[in-house]
Structure 1
Amino acid sequence: MALHFVGFRGDEYGRAVRVFGVPDFIHIGWDRWARQEVVAGDVAIFATGTAEGEPSTYSFPDIREA
């Protein structure tokens, strides 16, 4: 079982970590790649929306550098 955080951008990330723990995977947005990585038995926590939402037609980058 893996914990995925999807779409977290700011302070809500820290609150989610306090509630759910440190995620195994962080997805910048809900795209077809993120949907493929969330498999049966995994837990996906969304900043907004749900796993039933249609994934973006555009891919999000795997990493965002500051």
Structure 2
Amino acid sequence: MALHFVGFRGDEYTPAVQVFGQPDFIHIGWDRWAKAEVFPGDVAIFATGTAEDEPSAYSYPDIREG
């Protein structure tokens, strides 16, 4: 079982870690690649939306560099 955080961009990250623990995967957005990486038995926590939402037609980058 893996823990995925999806779409976290700001202050919501710290409270989510306090409640759910450190994520195994962080997805910048809900796209077809993120959806393919969430397997049965995994837990996906969304900043907004749900796993039932249609994935974005556009891909998000794997890593955001500062």
Q: Same fold (TM over 0.5)?
A: yes
Q: Partners of 2:62 and 2:55 in 1: how far apart?
A: 15
Q: State TM-score, norm by structure 2.
A: 0.99
Q: Where does structure 2 lack aligned partners over 5 or more consecutive residues? A: none
In the alignment, structure 1 residue 30 sits paired with structure 2 residue 34: no
User: Once the two structures are aligned, what percentage of the paired residues are identical?
Assistant: 82
Q: Which residue of 1 aligns with 2:7?
A: 7
Q: Which residue of 2 aligns with 1:17?
A: 17
Q: Where does structure 1 lack aligned partners over 5 or more consecutive residues? A: none
Q: Which residue of 2 aligns with 1:54?
A: 54
Q: Report deviation, 1:36.
A: 0.2
Aligned-residue CA RMSD (Å) = 0.3
List structure 1 runs of 4+ shifted beyond 4 angstroms.
none
Number of equivalenced pairs: 66
Q: State TM-score, norm by structure 1.
A: 0.99
